[in-house]
């Protein structure tokens, strides 16, 4: 069974050539992200991912998290690994220096996060949720709450959770019934139950800080009546240390298809008199604050798609290079060859490789835009970059996680029958990846967010800006005297036309027939993801061609061009069909009466 190896060459290429690391490092507050510093961080992260986290991946899958009497015991090695993870400063990488963080930009954090998730998906979920809780508390919490909780969370001594979902409510947060009763001392007593709480209970940290959605007695109905509360597992004493147990208990953990080492808890609040909670921000603005966490988490879950593409590809590639089966096609009586020689295996590997590289490039470019939205000195450019980030987050989350499942499935196919056997490790990637399209909102939710809040609400303005950027790149491609780049130009130009046609149809239709528009939402998200991924791969091919023409003999560059050509031939070529599904497919989606299903 092969272990994970961080793809540092491609990560560095994307950071520098596509995401503009040097430009990000010049932003106020991002000066620490100089190239040599980032290289050192990436190399150290790679060592940790490869040497500590990757060997625990199969262990966690086999052993799983164990629940007994309200307590969760993590698989062998996880507690020690988390302690080393926190002590090494990885929990603080992107956090504000004011609270003990290192203040590195999101672009760098995204690259490091990819390594954690490729190496050990289940482990990576704990810092993912903690990071979201830190961000929400830092932006919306009162100074006393920040002083009590943030430094310990940033150092990794305490972890964080998101408590949104309730039984029977699912993604419908308007149905939340957990209640919060105000007390004379300014605190609240929380009563209710939450489900699907990732790392809601574990033994890796001294305290767990739950962020909980609940309603106060005077709250209006629906999503406008939701407030956000901090509910610590252990109350914090005057000395800043965990003290008596709060009335917040894990009553069970779920038995899941994958990510067995990530405890998914059912949490009960207030069964013994009321869990002590503290209001974050103002009453009835909880959903607004929780979306701070949710947007960070959605990007992080999108990185899970990128990460599993890379990890599944590596495992399939390594197997294909060593598995001897059959003679070379068209050769009678020849020597047996490794299966990577067979055209269909090569096609599958190229598909995996191309989608891994495209999704990585798109995610890193969005992360860089996030940094510009936060730190650029010009307000207009901050606004433009934030609009781009808002538009692209559902694409990064939805498309990357969907292709992550597809790539992991292809990895099993490359292994043949051995892929169906757990010992090869290929099946775990598919099982683990399957949750990512559901986490933090299903693909359908991401798609509806994309066409509604992100496109129709602003009349497609930001979408039009992205189309213009794609057109500008295509004009550069058209001027290249290279057969591969010419082929990419042909496919990319047609794909952008298809994306524009589908996008304009959705914006126009949304206002007059929202059901028809919604029926095409997921095909549109898929279309957008493929074209956006192709956009970044075409950019990469242009950079590579420039390097080759400049005399650089690194074999990385011609390989990048061929990979971009494959993406164009095999993925961008799907754009026209997807666009037709968007514009013409609603009738058949909605035509049958319910009794015909």
Active-site option among 114, 135, 310, 440 = 440
Distance of CA 58 to the CA centre of its chain: 21
- Cα-flanking dihedrals φ and ψ of residue 345, to 5°? -65, -40
Side-chain-facing half-sphere of 415: CA atoms under 13 Å = 27
- Cα-flanking dihedrals φ and ψ of residue 197, to 5°? -95, 105
Please tell me the distance from the alpha carbon of residue 366 to that of residue 14, in angstroms, as a whole number: 12
Active site annotation includes 594: no
Contact 264, 253 (CB under 8 A): yes
Neighbours of 40 (CB within 10 A): 11
C-alpha closest to that of 300 among 135, 164, 140, 138: 135
Please tell me the distance from the alpha carbon of residue 188 to that of residue 204, in angstroms, as a whole number: 27
Neighbours of 210 (CB within 10 A): 26
Q: Coil, strand, or helix at residue 44?
A: helix
Contact 228, 281 (CB under 8 A): yes
Residues facing 324 on adjacent strands: 338
Residue 157: partners with Cβ closer than 8 Å, 6 or more residues away:
86, 205, 206, 207
Residues facing 234 on adjacent strands: 245
Neighbours of 418 (CB within 10 A): 14
Pairing of strands 207-214, 242-245: unpaired
Q: How far is CA 180 from CA 96, 175, 215, 283, in A?
A: 30, 15, 6, 10
Angle between helices 286-322 and 106-119 (to 10 degrees): 50
Residue 416: partners with Cβ closer than 8 Å, 6 or more residues away:
325
Please tell me the distance from the alpha carbon of residue 530 to that of residue 399, in angstroms, as a whole number: 8
Q: Which two tokens stand for residue 147?
A: 């002083």
Contact 407, 351 (CB under 8 A): yes
- Cα-flanking dihedrals φ and ψ of residue 244, to 5°? -70, 155
Q: In the chain, what is the straight-line distance between the N-terminal and C-terminal CA atoms, in Å?
A: 44
Please tell me the distance from the alpha carbon of residue 490 to that of residue 172, in angstroms, as a whole number: 43
List, as one string, the DSSP characters of 318-357: HHHHH-EEEEPTT-TT--EEEGGGSHHHHHHHHHHHHHHH
Q: Which two tokens stand for residue 40?
A: 């050192």
Please tell me the distance from the alpha carbon of residue 186 to that of residue 467, in angstroms, as a whole number: 51
- Cα-flanking dihedrals φ and ψ of residue 314, to 5°? -60, -45
Active site residues: 440
């Amino acid at each position: 069974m092969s272990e994970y190896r961080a793809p540092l060459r491609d990560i560095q290429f994307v950071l520098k050539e596509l995401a503009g690391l040097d430009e990000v490092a010049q932003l106020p507050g991002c000066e620490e992200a100089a190239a040599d510093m980032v290289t050192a961080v990436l190399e150290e992260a790679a060592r940790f991912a490869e040497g500590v986290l990757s060997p625990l991946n199969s262990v966690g899958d086999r052993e799983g998290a164990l629940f007994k009497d309200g307590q969760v015991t993590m698989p062998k090695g996880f507690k020690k690994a988390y302690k080393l993870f926190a002590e090494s400063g990885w929990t603080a990488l992107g956090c504000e220096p004011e609270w003990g963080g290192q203040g590195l930009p999101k672009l760098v954090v995204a690259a490091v996060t990819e390594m954690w998730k490729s190496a050990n998906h289940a482990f990576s979920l704990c810092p993912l949720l903690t990071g979201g809780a830190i961000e929400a508390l830092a932006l919306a919490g009162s100074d006393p709450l920040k002083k009590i909780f943030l430094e310990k969370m940033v150092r990794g001594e305490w972890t964080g959770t998101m408590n949104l979902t309730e039984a029977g409510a699912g993604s419908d947060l308007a149905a939340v019934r957990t209640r919060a009763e105000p007390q004379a001392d300014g605190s609240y007593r929380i009563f209710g139950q939450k489900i699907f709480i990732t790392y809601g209970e574990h033994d890796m940290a001294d305290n767990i800080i739950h962020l909980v959605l609940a309603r106060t007695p005077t709250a209006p109905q629906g999503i406008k009546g939701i407030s956000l509360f901090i509910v610590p597992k252990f109350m914090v004493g005057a000395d800043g240390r965990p003290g008596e147990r709060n009335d917040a208990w894990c009553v069970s953990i779920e038995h899941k298809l994958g990510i067995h080492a990530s405890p998914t808890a059912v949490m009960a609040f207030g069964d013994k008199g009321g869990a002590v909670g503290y209001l974050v921000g103002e009453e009835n603005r909880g959903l607004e604050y929780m979306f701070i966490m949710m947007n960070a988490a959605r990007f992080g879950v999108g990185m899970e798609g990128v990460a599993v593409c890379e990890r599944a590809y590596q495992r399939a590639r390594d197997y294909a290079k060593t598995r001897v089966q059959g003679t070379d096609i068209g050769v009678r009586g020849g020597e047996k060859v490794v299966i990577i020689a067979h055209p269909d295996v090569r096609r599958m590997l190229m598909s995996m490789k191309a989608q891994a590289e495209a999704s990585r490039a798109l995610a890193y470019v969005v992360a860089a835009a996030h940094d510009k939205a936060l730190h650029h000195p010009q307000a207009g450019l901050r606004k433009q970059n934030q609009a781009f980030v808002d538009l692209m987050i559902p694409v990064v989350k939805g498309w990357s996680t969907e292709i992550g499942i597809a790539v992991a499935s292809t990895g099993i196919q490359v292994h043949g029958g051995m892929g169906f056997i757990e010992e090869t490790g290929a099946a775990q990637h598919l099982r683990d990846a399957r949750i990512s399209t559901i986490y933090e909102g299903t693909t359908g939710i991401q798609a509806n967010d994309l066409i509604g809040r992100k496109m129709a609400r602003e009349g497609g303005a930001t979408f039009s800006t992205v189309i213009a950027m794609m057109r500008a790149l295509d004009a550069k491609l058209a001027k290249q005297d290279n057969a591969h780049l010419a082929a990419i130009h042909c496919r990319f130009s047609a794909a952008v036309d298809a994306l524009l046609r589908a996008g304009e149809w959705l914006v126009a239709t949304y206002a007059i027939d929202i059901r028809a528009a919604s029926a095409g939402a997921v095909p549109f998200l898929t279309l957008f993801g493929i074209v956006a991924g192709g956009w970044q791969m075409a950019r990469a091919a242009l950079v590579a061609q420039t390097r080759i023409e400049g005399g650089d003999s690194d074999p990385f560059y011609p390989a990048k061009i061929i990979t971009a050509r494959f993406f164009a031939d095999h993925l961008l070529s799907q754009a026209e069909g997807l666009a037709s599904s968007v514009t013409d497919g609603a009738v058949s989606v909605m035509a049958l009466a319910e009794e015909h299903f």
